[in-house]
Copies of this chain bind each other. A is one copy, B any other.
């Protein structure tokens, strides 16, 4: 366990008072320290959005990228230096909307990333338009009569897409969330952690109360086996009346980086640039 204070920094979050993102920030710091990780061996990679500002408010290596584009940058970083503990932070628009294709394909690769999606079911930073996880009928400035698309179910898509760790947390239960993030980081492979995150300013439907009434812990479900794909699939599809939180699914599968032979000798960045005059001259002879 490292000292959580190491992750503190003198920057006041610009989130609205009461925003669910505060709890996620706290939980992440606790989880990192609980796992004896440090600012220097952690790398946060975020997109753009309210939630994606998280890395500004704690001390750690961080790369705030573009809206929707955290996953590929994080994959590049992880493969270039697999000694780093890489945590990806995105919003629901960011992660499932504009970044949806990266999401689909990162699952196939299974790099050892922990992906926290601050899912407030709305576009916060751009002032309240509906998002891919907004409930059908959600009214916003761009859907004045209610949106007419069904929401993305990230848990189901993750299971169908081959994620090896699928979890859901709730910003209203930071203790549980901390544990969940720890599990996600410990998991060797791509871990999706969708977090129910109330946006107190724009989402007047999916409030703390709304989530509280529905969220229940899988830990409390007797005999729930997260390694059983079929059970996971049933839980993944629950929404509305009851919303499961915790580890929905977990599976062992080789990580991407474990299968790249160039990484066998240690992190790539330690041996780059790589140049061997003899090798180059021998290759030259192929052209003769």
Q: Does residue A132 face the partner (Cβ distance < 8 Å to B)?
A: yes
Q: Within the complex, which residue of B100, B156, B256 is in contact with A105, where a contact is CB–CB below 8 Å?
A: B100
Interface string of A77-102 (1 = CB under 8 A from B): 00000000000000000000110110
Spot the interface stretch: A14-22, A144-152, A175-183.
A144-152
Copies of this chain, whole number: 2
Is there an interface contact between A100 and B104, defined as CB atoms closer than 8 Å? yes
Q: Does residue A201 face the partner (Cβ distance < 8 Å to B)?
A: no
Q: How far is the CA of A227 from the CA of B77 in the complex (A)?
A: 44
Given A109-B148, A148-B260, A150-B162; 20 other pairs, CB 8 A cutoff: A97-B105, A98-B101, A100-B101, A100-B104, A100-B105, A101-B104, A104-B157, A105-B149, A108-B132, A108-B150, A108-B152, A109-B149, A110-B150, A145-B261, A150-B253, A153-B160, A157-B157, A157-B160, A159-B160, A233-B233
A-B residue pairs in contact (CB < 8 Å), sample of 17: A97-B105, A98-B101, A105-B132, A105-B149, A105-B152, A108-B151, A110-B150, A145-B261, A148-B256, A149-B256, A150-B162, A150-B253, A153-B162, A156-B161, A159-B160, A160-B160, A233-B233
The 3 closest A-B pairs by CB, nearest first: A160-B160, A101-B101, A156-B160
